[in-house]
Structure 1
Amino acid sequence: MLNRISLRQMEYFVATVKYGSIAAASTQIHISSPSISAAIAHIEAELGVQLFVRHSSKGLGLTAIGGLILNHCEDLLERSSRLYEIASDSSDAIQGTLRVGCFQPLTAMIAPEVLFGFSRAFPMVDMHMEEGDQETLISKLHALEIDLAITYDLQLNDDIRFEHLATLPPYVLVSELHPLAQQSAVTLEELAPLPMVLLNLPMSRDYFTSLFTKAGVTPNIVARSRSEEVVRSMVANGIGYSLFNVRPRSNVSLDGKRMLRVRLAGDNRPMLLGLATYKPMKQSRLCNVFMERCRAYISDHYIPGMSAASFYDPHFVPPEQ
């Protein structure tokens, strides 16, 4: 079950029972109501059961099977928390400085829950976060300026160890008024002549253009930016479509315009999200404990701040780990 239902989803379910409603749980644990609802719906769909009976006047009532699942979730969460307690109570308690690099487009979604959630759990840890593009992060690993990086599998040398945690296939982002907005899927051949806005980060831009090269076509790039939010705003304003792998839960640009995701048809290389470390550098105990947290919080079924792949591609099946 733990491979398909995340600890975070269990926490949302348990909090809903504890506080009596999704709205109350949202207020208490500072997580949006849609995120909690999605977590509960995922557990119900995954197990094929109904956790709550929804009464119009009395709110949520826990079903009999929901009560049994609640007990197991509470037990699993308690055992999970003991891993940190055991580590923290040992003779060499979890403390020290941890330097974590994070690929820039991922940082806003992953850092609050994964990085700073870890530092809250271990107050004696001095967390240092470094944002950057792939080229910058790999350079900092080589220079021993960071202990590890949460990033993609782009152009990694043999001296970089990469642990795959989640798969992020590419998709097409368009404005709600774009001619492709009503299509369920689109090919690279259809996209090639249309205006494109490119995320212009080192290695990332090569990855996106390589998808077109493999298909034997050339994209019509009309605008570029190193900022994913600038690219999203240009897309929302109809300047062109773009390709992305990250899946922010919000489909609204910073200037308030709505965008839509369209599945990219064909056999396209996905981005692999994971942990990159420098092989010659021995990992500290602190680093290994943090990597365990990353494994618990990042998977094909849950990535903090992101929509599920099925949100835009119902045919996506995560690869076997």
Structure 2
Amino acid sequence: MRFTLRQLEYFIAAGETGSITHASERINISQPSISTAISQLEQELDTQLFIRHHAQGLSLTPAGRIMLMEAKRLVEQAESLYAAASEASEEVRGQLNVGCLTTLAPMVLPELSISFMSAFPRASIRPHADHQEMLLNGLHRAMIDVAITYDLQIPADIEFTPLVDLPVHAIVGESHPLARHSAVTLSELAELPLILLDLPLSAEYFTALFMKEGLSPNIAFRFSQPDIIRTMVANGYGYSLANVTPRSDTALDGRKVVRVRLSGENRPMTIGFATLKQLKKSRLLAAFATHAKSFISDAYIPGMVAPAMGQKKR
């Protein structure tokens, strides 16, 4: 066999994303390296795996579709060898696919992953970020091993371990009249323009807060990108609701946002890690779970103002 597992991993990334560019972003490998690996694989197998479309990405050939399934099976078997060796030697090693909710990922995922790999040098983390429905789908399809996410509509076959509750709060620009308030109610917000985080399950969570009080929010804009929402808020387009509390109060354009406590009994979001119940927990996964429990709590959350710290500031 004159092809490598690494070449197969590059091929899988390109096959699943349909793009050298997207594959490069997904696995953090340069585009020329991926293109070269695919060309070498095609040469070794004497088979065309992709049809190249100018400026429109790639599409798998019939042979390529079969190869993609077989390549994924081979890589999974290879990862199982590492896991088996880890279990036998009592050493934590191997690759773990860690998913994270897109609103949490920029803050939580980098520090959590780096600290875990520092503690266990023979282990590696392949990070993934997506919205809740895709994370749950990834667990069911074994595309990710564990997800750092919220307790939103967790199905019965998913095991969710809670780590910390995040209260909901309002975000306004620093010149907004509410920026000087210590707290605000949903009734005070209802008629003001809301910039809604429009992600599956998240949008329902925020609108349900108003419905519980018999109110209807005035939704002015919907965006699925938190950074756009923060910049819109900072520029005075309206307010938003959030549970995440980034340590930085600056939007990407340099303008400031202000966090205002939401009064009343409002359901918080609970950060935790989710795994498939029927999945046998490897030593690697168990070590990551223990690490996450020690790393995310009411007193400390990577990249965020933890609830306990936020209370001290008030």
Q: Give TM-score scaled by structure 2 length.
A: 0.70
Structure 1 match to 2:117: 119
Structure 2 match to 1:171: 169
Q: Map of 1:164-243 to 2, 5 A cutoff?
A: 164-243=162-241
Structure 2 match to 1:15: none
**Residues 119-159 of structure 1, C-alpha deviation per residue, up to 9 Å, x if partnerless?**
23323223211110111100101111111101000011111
Structure 2 match to 1:18: none
Q: Map of 1:52-71 to 2, 5 A cutoff?
A: none
Structure 2 match to 1:156: 154
Structure 1 match to 2:265: 267
- In structure 1, the residue corresponding to 2:204 is in which secondary structure? helix
State the 1:96 CA deviation: 1.2
Structure 1 match to 2:295: 297
**Residues 155-203 of structure 1, C-alpha deviation per residue, up to 9 Å, x if partnerless?**
1111111111001010000001111111111110110000010111110
Preserved contact between residue 261 and residue 312 of structure 1 (Cα < 8 Å): no
Q: Hey, what's the Cα distance between the residues in 1 that align with 2:183 and 2:90? A: 53
Unpaired stretches in structure 1, ≥5 consecutive residues:
1-87, 317-321
Q: Larger Rg: 1 or 2?
A: 2
Give the letter for the 2:284 counterpart: L
1:282 and 2:266 aligned: no
Give the letter for the 1:217 counterpart: L
- In structure 1, the residue corresponding to 2:129 is in which secondary structure? strand
Preserved contact between residue 196 and residue 219 of structure 1 (Cα < 8 Å): yes
Give the letter for the 1:144 counterpart: A
Q: Hey, what's the Cα distance between the residues in 2 that align with 1:234 and 1:311? A: 27
Preserved contact between residue 87 and residue 282 of structure 2 (Cα < 8 Å): no
RMSD of aligned residue pairs (Cα, Å): 1.9
Preserved contact between residue 199 and residue 231 of structure 1 (Cα < 8 Å): yes
Give the letter for the 1:139 counterpart: N
Identity across the alignment (%)? 49
Q: Hey, what's the Cα distance between the residues in 2 that align with 1:194 and 1:239? A: 10
1:131 and 2:129 aligned: yes
Preserved contact between residue 262 and residue 312 of structure 1 (Cα < 8 Å): no
State the 1:284 CA deviation: 0.7
- In structure 1, the residue corresponding to 2:249 is in which secondary structure? coil
Give the letter for the 1:176 counterpart: E
Q: Map of 1:91-110 to 2, 5 A cutoff?
A: 91-110=89-108
Unpaired stretches in structure 2, ≥5 consecutive residues:
1-85
State the 1:208 CA deviation: 0.5
Give the letter for the 2:230 counterpart: R
Give the letter for the 2:297 counterpart: S
Q: Hey, what's the Cα distance between the residues in 1 that align with 2:194 and 2:268? A: 19
For residues 289 and 311 of structure 1, do their structure 2 counterparts lie closer, same or farther at Cα, with a shift above 3 Å needed? closer
Give the letter for the 1:288 counterpart: A
Q: Hey, what's the Cα distance between the residues in 1 that align with 2:121 and 2:311? A: 40
Structure 2 match to 1:17: none
State the 1:255 CA deviation: 0.2
Q: Hey, what's the Cα distance between the residues in 2 that align with 1:280 and 1:101? A: 18
Q: Hey, what's the Cα distance between the residues in 1 that align with 2:87 and 2:275? A: 27
State the 1:313 CA deviation: 5.0
State the 1:242 CA deviation: 0.3
Q: Hey, what's the Cα distance between the residues in 2 that align with 1:309 and 1:265? A: 15
Give the letter for the 1:188 counterpart: L
State the 1:117 CA deviation: 1.8
Q: Hey, what's the Cα distance between the residues in 1 that align with 2:212 and 2:180? A: 26
Preserved contact between residue 99 and residue 127 of structure 1 (Cα < 8 Å): yes
- In structure 1, the residue corresponding to 2:104 is in which secondary structure? helix
